[in-house]
């Protein structure tokens, strides 16, 4: 059985429009299926929890933005061997970009029906206060989280999505956040080694290259089982930050002094010194930061409709 999970509000209705196109195809009418449409925040996680025990599921087809995919992965718990096909219908769609998922939604759907091959993808896990959650794209503390928060809360996001320019919201949010953001000091543990960074802009651990609707923030990141790439931007003046982000599009920011990219199997974000709350983002959704440990899951999820070749951790 094919399971569809659709977020009708993703991309200001883009995911819903994609599903309408799929419903008109011959293949859709031929397959045995069950369709779930999310009704509120957190609903996709509840749906995933309920359905993973259904017998004879062939694939979970998620048509949404990255936030809903994040919920589905977390709802699947230990049943993550079930293949997932992600049809991007959000505004940022970094998961699809990072996984080289085909651009045309009807081609993705056709490939899911005709080709049962799936590619492995190693998600990340973050632990805090005794809870364990997973992320598909990245977890970031500081500037990127405040940009994501600003974009998610902006009324312009809806409007830009309507005219097909949803990705631009991250550029507007970046400029707005730049003026009010306060740099912070942080203590990190990377595979047991301690690091202190002063005047930090952000710390980001990612499973693939992209954030913010196509910014190549981790140009060397590859999809593999062992390591994340960890980016730390520190000691950079505000004047240089805009120039730095202008070069992120092609990965040129890595040449700036104060930009460090490391690889780690385990990242502890211990203490942040700042006299106001600081935000983190996980797959684009934001909350107030608490100390946490980030690791990589050793069993991969299975993604259909991708074009990438997995590189070994030793490459």
Ligand X SMILES: Nc1ncnc2c1ncn2[C@@H]1O[C@H](COP(=O)(O)OP(=O)(O)OP(=O)(O)O)[C@@H](O)[C@H]1O
List residues near ligand X by CB under 6 A.
Answer: 7-11, 38-43, 64-68, 71, 90-93, 284-285
Alpha-helical regions (H) of the chain: 14-23, 26-30, 43-51, 66-75, 94-98, 105-114, 143-153, 156-162, 168-180, 238-246
Smallest separation, CB 39 to ligand X (Å) = 5
Smallest separation, CB 103 to ligand X (Å) = 15
| Contacts of 145 by beta carbon, 8 Å cutoff, 6+ apart | 202, 278, 279, 280, 281, 286, 289
Please say which residue, 9 or 241, places its beta carbon nearer to ligand X.
Answer: 9
Nearest CA to 141 out of 40, 51, 230, 13 is that of 230
Q: Please, which residues bridge with residue 36 across strands?
A: 5
Please say which residue, 93 or 99, places its beta carbon nearer to ligand X.
Answer: 93
Smallest separation, CB 157 to ligand X (Å) = 7
Given a contact cutoff of 8 angstroms between Cβ atoms, the answer to whether 204 and 279 are in contact is no
Please say which residue, 7 or 111, places its beta carbon nearer to ligand X.
Answer: 7
Smallest separation, CB 225 to ligand X (Å) = 25
Which residue's beta carbon is nearest to the bound ligand X?
A: 65
Instruction: Output the CA–CA distances (angstroms, integers) from residue 215 to 52, 76, 251, in the order listed.
Output: 33, 29, 8
Smallest separation, CB 38 to ligand X (Å) = 3
Please say which residue, 8 or 120, places its beta carbon nearer to ligand X.
Answer: 8
Please say which residue, 38 or 119, places its beta carbon nearer to ligand X.
Answer: 38
């Amino acid at each position: 059985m094919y399971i569809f999970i659709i977020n009708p509000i993703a991309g200001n209705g883009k995911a819903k429009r994609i599903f309408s196109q799929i419903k008109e195809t011959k293949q859709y009418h031929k397959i045995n299926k069950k369709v779930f449409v999310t009704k509120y925040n957190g609903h996709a996680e509840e749906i995933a929890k309920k359905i993973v025990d259904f017998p004879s599921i062939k694939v979970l087809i998620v048509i949404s933005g990255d936030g809903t995919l994040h919920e589905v992965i977390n709802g699947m718990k230990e049943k993550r061997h079930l293949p997932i096909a992600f049809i991007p219908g959000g505004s940022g769609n970094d998961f699809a970009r990072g996984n080289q998922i085909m651009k045309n939604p009807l081609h993705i759907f056709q490939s899911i029906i005709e080709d049962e091959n799936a590619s492995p993808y190693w998600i990340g896990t973050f632990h805090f206060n005794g809870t364990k959650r997973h992320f598909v794209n990245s977890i970031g503390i500081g500037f990127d989280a405040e940009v994501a928060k600003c974009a998610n809360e902006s009324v312009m996001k809806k409007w830009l999505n309507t005219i097909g320019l949803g990705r631009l919201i991250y550029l507007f949010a970046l400029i707005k956040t730049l003026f009010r953001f306060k740099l912070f000091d942080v203590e990190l543990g990377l595979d047991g080694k301690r690091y202190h960074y002063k005047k930090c802009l952000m710390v980001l651990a990612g499973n693939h290259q992209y954030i913010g609707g196509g910014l190549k923030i981790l140009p060397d990141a590859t999809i593999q089982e062992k390591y994340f790439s960890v980016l730390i931007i520190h000691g950079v003046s505000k004047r240089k930050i805009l120039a730095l982000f202008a070069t992120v599009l092609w990965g040129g920011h890595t040449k700036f002094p104060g930009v460090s990219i490391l690889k780690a199997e385990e990242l502890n974000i211990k203490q942040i010194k700042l006299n106001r709350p600081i935000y983190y983002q996980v797959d684009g959704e934001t909350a107030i930061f608490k100390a946490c440990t980030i690791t990589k899951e050793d069993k991969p999820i299975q993604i259909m409709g991708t074009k990438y070749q997995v590189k070994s951790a030793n490459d």
